[in-house]
Structure 1
Amino acid sequence: MSTPPFRATAPAPTPLPPYTGDDATCAKCAFPEARTRYRKAGSYRDDEMTLFGPSPRPERLERECLRCDYVWDEALNPPDAPEPIGRELTITELADALSASHQGWALDLSPELAAHMAVGLLRTLDVRTRPDATGGAS
């Protein structure tokens, strides 16, 4: 009977405390103001050494006291965000919608320009269909 190889496992992550809102109070010095930074899963804080792969921390909001620089993590806000209504538009659907909304003007959008505009918009915006919309993208 052989023994399975030893494998080090990371401890299970503890649940993050809920987001305390804009009026966070530092647990160390009771100062009522804190900076907030979004941190993606696996990322380290700026003051931590990056060792042996990604951090075990989940996606989170990092809070930092503006007086004493104490740092703590909180859950994302809101933790139970509702699913967005509709679905994301594709580049082609958004380009078609841009062209359709521009028809009748002195200069119509070329398909190439509409596609270029759609790519730029989708890089910065979450564009979704509306359930009450008629025609156009669905």
Structure 2
Amino acid sequence: MEKLNVTAAHMVAAARARIPEIGTAEAIEMLKDPDVVFVDIRDVRERQKLGYIPGAVHAPRGMIEFWVDPESPYHKPVFAQEGKQYVFHCASGWRSALTVATLLDMGFDAAHLRDGFTDWVKKDGPVQKDD
């Protein structure tokens, strides 16, 4: 395989340089705010195995652009709520950084949990698990 022109790590670094990032402690406090919508873009198997932030909307990364776009046949109303702040997260902050960079390019205002769900758990953020 030939060397890539741009690595995934470079893409994440470039995204992080231009998107709003929220630290874990701040995000845990934001959980109390009804105007904050946490969006979990991890795979459904990650959520089932490790749990999730209580109340977080699950939106698979592969569908985000379509679910957010009001002109898409796949649009989800949860992404059209006025006055809401959207905070996207994945496990470590890489996928969510790329996602939020794309959403900002689309004109959708969003931020991401800088260190992801792994740090959320490490810092004793509440976690919900389904039976």
TM-score after normalising by structure 1: 0.27
Larger Rg: 1
Structure showing greater relative contact order (alpha-carbon pairs closer than 8 Å, 6 or more residues apart): 2
TM-score after normalising by structure 2: 0.28
Q: If each structure's helix is expressed as a fraction of its own residues, which one has the higher value?
A: 2
